[in-house]
């Protein structure tokens, strides 16, 4: 069985966008927790 | 089928990721906002605390000041109260003294009224006594004048008596001498014989030259302008008159050639003899 190589579609982009959104959300949370003296 | 589910999941994942990001961003944003507000509130609280402390210190200082002022005022109030008490006592004392003084004043006024009434009565009595004294003085003066007149008359009468006695004695001596002469000439003195008839009194008139009292001021002497040349003799009585008014009778006591001096016979006085009055030997 041969694997068909697929081009990255819009859903891949959406996946990256969601990844970026998660990262941004995490950064916001980290910044918010940092204000309370949280250290990673 | 799997593909569709995978797409749905991807979309769901995207939606949730975006929701998560939004939620995290909102949390961070609100957290920052709240933090800023909290810092501001802390700063405000600190300022308020500082202000409160300042106010407390001011309040404390003010309380201290007020306490000191209150203490001073209390001290002054105590002093003022003591002074007021002393003044009240002094006023009470002065009121008592004033009442006594008023009583004394009333008493003195009453005494003064009594004294004034008594003085008025004394003045009235004094005026009455003065009038009485004046009357008595007048009466006394009149009586003294009468007494002096009577004394003068008494002296004159005594003098006349003395003169009459002297004349009587002279006549007795003369009679005795004449009797001796008669006896020496062998003439009886008891025998009545015809003698010389006295000269008839010739009417002679003159003027009064002046009058004056004698040395003892007991009789009035009158000098006249006729004398022995006009047959005026001692003990001769002449009449003094002014116009048709008879004034007095004088008896000659001293005679010179052209004048004579006589004494007024007081019992015959009918007026005051003055210089220039007429005198005659026979009216």
Residue B190: predicted pLDDT: 72
Structure tokens at A12: 């891949």
Strands (E), B38-155: none
Report how far residue B25's alpha carbon sits from residue A1's, in angstroms, rounded to the nearest whole number: 47
Residue A6: predicted pLDDT: 67
- How are beta strands B260-265 and B245-255 bridged, if at all? antiparallel
Residue B32 Cα, gap to closest chain A Cα (Å): 8
Q: Which residues of B touch A (CB under 8 A)?
A: 6-7, 10-11, 13-14, 16-18, 20-25, 27-28, 31-32, 35
* Confidence band, pLDDT 50/70/90 cuts, at residue B6: confident
* Confidence band, pLDDT 50/70/90 cuts, at residue A40: low
Minimal Cβ distance to A18: which of B6, B17, B22: B17
Q: In 3-state terms, what secondary structure has residue B53?
A: helix
Distances (CA, A) of B29 to B17, B33, B67: 18, 6, 54
Minimal Cβ distance to A14: which of B11, B22, B31: B11
Report the residue of B2, B9, B20, B22 to disrupt the A interface, i.e. the one with the largest count of A CBs within 10 Å. B20
Q: Do A17 and B6 touch (CB under 8 A)?
A: no
CA dihedral for B1, B4, B9, B10, sign (positive or negative): positive
Q: What is the predicted ipTM?
A: 0.83
Residue A39 Cα, gap to closest chain B Cα (Å): 16
Q: Do A29 and B24 touch (CB under 8 A)?
A: yes
Task: Please check whether residue A32 is in contact with residue B24, taking contact to mean a CB–CB distance below 8 angstroms.
Answer: yes
Buried b (16+ CB within 10 A) or exposed e, B231-240: ebeeebebbb
Q: Reply yes or no on whether the pLDDT at A1 is more than 50.
A: no
User: Between chain A and chain B, how many beta carbons pairs sit less than 8 Å apart?
Assistant: 55
Residue B198: predicted pLDDT: 54
* Confidence band, pLDDT 50/70/90 cuts, at residue B1: low
Mean pLDDT of chain B: 89
Q: Do A14 and B18 touch (CB under 8 A)?
A: no
CA dihedral for B177, B181, B186, B192, sign (positive or negative): negative
Report how far residue B229's alpha carbon sits from residue B240's, in angstroms, rounded to the nearest whole number: 19
Residue A34 Cα, gap to closest chain B Cα (Å): 10
Please give the angle made by the CA atoms of B152, B153 and B159, to the nearest 5 degrees. 90
Residue B101: predicted pLDDT: 95
* Confidence band, pLDDT 50/70/90 cuts, at residue B267: confident
* Confidence band, pLDDT 50/70/90 cuts, at residue B147: very high
In the 8-state DSSP scheme, what is residue B257?
S
* Confidence band, pLDDT 50/70/90 cuts, at residue B212: confident
Report the residue of B25, B26, B37, B38 to disrupt the A interface, i.e. the one with the largest count of A CBs within 10 Å. B25
In the 8-state DSSP scheme, what is residue B225?
S
- How are beta strands B205-213 and B278-280 bridged, if at all? antiparallel
Q: Do B25 and A32 touch (CB under 8 A)?
A: no
Q: For the segment B182-206, what is each residue's pLDDT rounded down to a tens digit?
A: 888 877 777 665 555 556 677 888 9
Q: Reply yes or no on whether the pLDDT at B115 is more than 80.
A: yes
Q: For the segment B242-266, what is each residue's pLDDT rounded down to a tens digit?
A: 988 888 999 999 999 899 999 988 8
Residues 8-37 of A with CB under 8 A from B: 11, 14-15, 17-19, 21-22, 24-29, 31-32, 35
The phi and psi torsions of B276 (rounded to 5 degrees) equal 100, -10
* Confidence band, pLDDT 50/70/90 cuts, at residue B111: very high
Q: For the segment B19-78, what is each residue's pLDDT rounded down to a tens digit?
A: 999 999 998 999 889 889 989 999 999 998 998 999 899 889 989 988 998 999 999 999
Q: For the segment B223-245, what is each residue's pLDDT rounded down to a tens digit?
A: 999 998 888 888 888 999 998 88
């Amino acid at each position: 069985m041969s694997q068909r190589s697929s081009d990255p579609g819009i859903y891949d982009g959406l996946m990256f966008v969601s990844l970026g959104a998660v990262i941004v959300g995490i950064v916001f949370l980290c910044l918010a927790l940092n204000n309370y003296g949280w250290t990673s | 089928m799997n593909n569709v589910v995978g797409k749905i999941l991807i979309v769901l994942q995207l939606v949730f990721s975006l929701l998560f990001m939004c939620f995290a961003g909102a949390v961070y944003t609100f957290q920052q906002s709240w933090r800023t507000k909290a810092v501001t509130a802390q700063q405000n609280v600190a300022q308020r605390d500082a202000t409160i402390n300042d106010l407390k210190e001011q309040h404390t200082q003010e309380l201290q000041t007020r306490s000191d002022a209150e203490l001073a005022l209390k001290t002054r109030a105590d002093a003022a109260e003591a002074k007021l008490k002393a003044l009240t006592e002094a006023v009470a004392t002065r009121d008592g003294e004033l009442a006594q003084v008023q009583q004394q004043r009333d008493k003195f006024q009453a005494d003064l009224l009594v004294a004034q009434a008594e003085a008025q009565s004394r003045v009235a009595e004094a005026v009455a006594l003065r009038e009485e004294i004046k009357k008595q003085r007048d009466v006394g003066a009149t009586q003294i004048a009468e007494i002096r007149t009577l004394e003068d008359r008494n002296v004159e009468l005594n003098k006349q008596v003395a003169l009459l006695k002297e004349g009587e004695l002279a006549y007795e001596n003369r009679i005795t001498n004449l009797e001796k002469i008669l006896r020496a000439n062998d003439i009886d003195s008891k025998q009545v014989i015809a003698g010389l008839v006295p000269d008839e009194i010739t009417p002679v008139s003159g003027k009064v030259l002046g009058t004056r009292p004698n040395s003892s001021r007991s009789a009035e002497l009158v000098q006249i302008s006729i004398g022995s040349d006009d047959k005026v003799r001692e003990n001769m009585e002449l009449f003094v008159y002014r116009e048709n008014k008879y004034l007095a009778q004088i008896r000659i006591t001293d005679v010179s050639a052209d004048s004579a001096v006589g004494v007024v016979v007081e019992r015959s006085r009918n007026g005051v003899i003055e210089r220039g009055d007429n005198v005659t030997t026979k009216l």
